[in-house]
Amino acid sequence: MIRLEAISKQNGHHLLFIEASAALWKGEKVGLVGPNGAGKTTLFRMITGQEPPDEGQVSVDRGVTIGYFSQDVGEMSGRSAVAEVMDGAGPVSAVAAELRELEMAMADPAHADDLDAIVERYGETHGRFEDLGGYALEARAREVLAGLSFSEESMEGDVGALSGGWKMRVALARILLMRPDAMLLDEPSNHLDLESLIWLEAFLKSYDGALLMTSHDREFMNRIVTKVVEIDGGALTTFAGNYEFYEQQRAQNEKQQQAQFERQQAMLAKEIKFIERFKARASHAAQVQSRVKKLDKIERVEPPRRRQTILFEFRPAPRSGDDVATLKRVDKGYGARSIYAGLDFQVRRRERWAVMGVNGAGKSTLLKLVAGAAQPDSGDVAIGASVKMGYFAQHAMDLLDADRSVFQSLEDAFPQAGQGSLRSLAGCFGFSGDDIEKKCRVLSGGEKARLVMAIMLYDPPNFLVLDEPTNHLDLMTKEMLIAALSQYDGAMLFVSHDRRFLASLSNRVLEVTPEGVHQYGGGYTEYVARTGHEAPGLHS
């Protein structure tokens, strides 16, 4: 269906692809992986014809329709979410628009003389609309939007009033409704809650077209893809299997390449030693010459290009008392809507609570109450003795000083710390080389999240309150964070839609539902086993 043949592409001085080749066939579900800046989005843009390769060829079979979802959703306003989604559904949306125009023309006295022609045209157009499944289209659009957690009310409202994250869902719904022959999805799992993520997973599994996608959600990727294409050092390498298999295979390939490299280096050293030893002796001249020629012909084995993985290690946090946070008979509401009524909840030392609940259930509100960012309407919230809290909220990223660089921001937070210590902290969170001189105003969402996290964790609190800490993080930073937090000794209260993060770090689950709050001993994995569902909104 789609073939990339010996493509080369340069971005400024940066070589993205060097004679790279790969293919996407009908029915395949392929994960596209590679470090940040490797060229994943450029590859999508080349397939869709938005950017040409410098050399080589991108070919798409005749008649193949492509739906491309990118993070750049553009302007949307003036229509309902349902209308916006239906508008992207290919030919049927154009026919629906024509029907609306003809209906308006029939009702307009100014067109009275042309009424017969308009009615006839309306009949033809209506027939085409029915043939294209137009009436089923609205029902399907609503089904897709509901799957992405839209309420009936939000489906009808002006799409212009939605936040950026919800507009992304509308843009994604357009592609899903279109059901093209091939879908290119660039980070479709961003901005989705757990229920939407699981719904999307099922949708994509049952989709019979070709799928090429990137995602920072390891579990999501692992459950959908059956092939992985890796971009690394300008090459495209294809691995058969899911994401987990790719990781194992990649590690094995690296190990084999390292062993080959070491064997060759040992052999070369031996040959060079012989040449050095006997090059001055006339009696060995022929042997020396023969070995020199042999060395010239040998194809050198390169050492494996190791991905830079830096581990962040917590300095020991000061010990807190056993009672870290206690909520007694807490009521909290917004306007007429009650979120909590008579809530009793306690976090004790070394407990790691994952807070689960559908959109709007009150997960962030609970974290705000505990962090003191919101006050209860009645009842008590008490923080225990010797508790030092670190609170990560989405708005924390807006509080960074736009005119300060990454390094200056770290210096401002820790004026007593040495430069070397702050540089290695920055490196752990993905700021190496010139990146630490970047001004906060130009940082991406992911970079801001990493900087806020670095500031929060350097002088470690003994109680972490984290609201969607993984939202903007790439796979490697997430893995680093999970590894670091696994070693963390303090208490945690967190909200996340990343199932790997939930399963790796929680040892308690608080489920917030309209019927009340339920507490579960054991972490997320035990919660799934006990309840039979992966998220509260998906009761089986």
Residue type, 360: G
Q: Six-digit token pair at 288?
A: 């020396």
Gap between the Cα atoms of 59 and 3, Å rounded: 5
* E strand or H helix that includes residue 71: none
Q: What is the dihedral of CA 484, 485, 488, 490, to 10 degrees?
A: 150
pLDDT of residue 231: 92
Q: Six-digit token pair at 64?
A: 């193949």
Gap between the Cα atoms of 223 and 227, Å rounded: 11
- pLDDT averaged per 10 residues, the chain (length 540): 93 88 95 87 93 94 92 81 83 79 88 86 88 83 94 91 89 91 93 92 95 94 95 90 90 89 90 86 83 87 72 83 96 91 95 92 94 95 95 85 93 91 88 89 87 90 94 85 90 96 96 90 95 80
SS3 454: helix
Token pair 């899911």: residue: 242
Spatial CA neighbour of 33 closest among 204, 201, 242, 223: 242
Per-residue CA distances from 536 to 146, 258, 448, 468 (Å): 16, 46, 30, 17
Token pair 């964790």: residue: 457
Spatial CA neighbour of 387 closest among 463, 439, 447: 463
Q: What is the dihedral of CA 313, 314, 316, 321, to 10 degrees?
A: -150
pLDDT of residue 309: 63
* E strand or H helix that includes residue 215: none
Neighbours of 529 (CB within 10 A): 9
Spatial CA neighbour of 202 closest among 493, 535, 517, 453: 535
Per-residue CA distances from 203 to 131, 140, 155, 223 (Å): 25, 12, 19, 12
The pairing of beta strand 516-521 with beta strand 378-383: unpaired
- With a CB cutoff of 8 Å and minimum separation 6, the contacts of 95 are 125, 128, 129, 132, 134
Per-residue CA distances from 117 to 125, 130, 166, 168, 294 (Å): 12, 20, 42, 41, 86
Q: Six-digit token pair at 520?
A: 């579960």
Return the HEC string of 347-396. Answer: EECCCEEEEEECCCCCHHHHHHHHHCCCCCCEEEEEECCCCCEEEECHHH
Token pair 């050399």: residue: 55
Fill in the DSSP letter of residue 405. Answer: B
pLDDT of residue 169: 94
Beta-bridged to residue 518, according to DSSP, are 511
Report pTM.
0.83
C-beta of residue 216 within 8 angstroms of C-beta of residue 189: yes
Sheet holding 235-240, edge to edge: 66-69, 182-186, 210-214, 29-33, 227-232, 235-240
Return the HEC string of 407-453. Answer: HHHHHHHCCCCCHHHHHHHHHHCCCCHHHHHCEHHHCCHHHHHHHHH
Residue type, 345: F
Gap between the Cα atoms of 216 and 218, Å rounded: 6
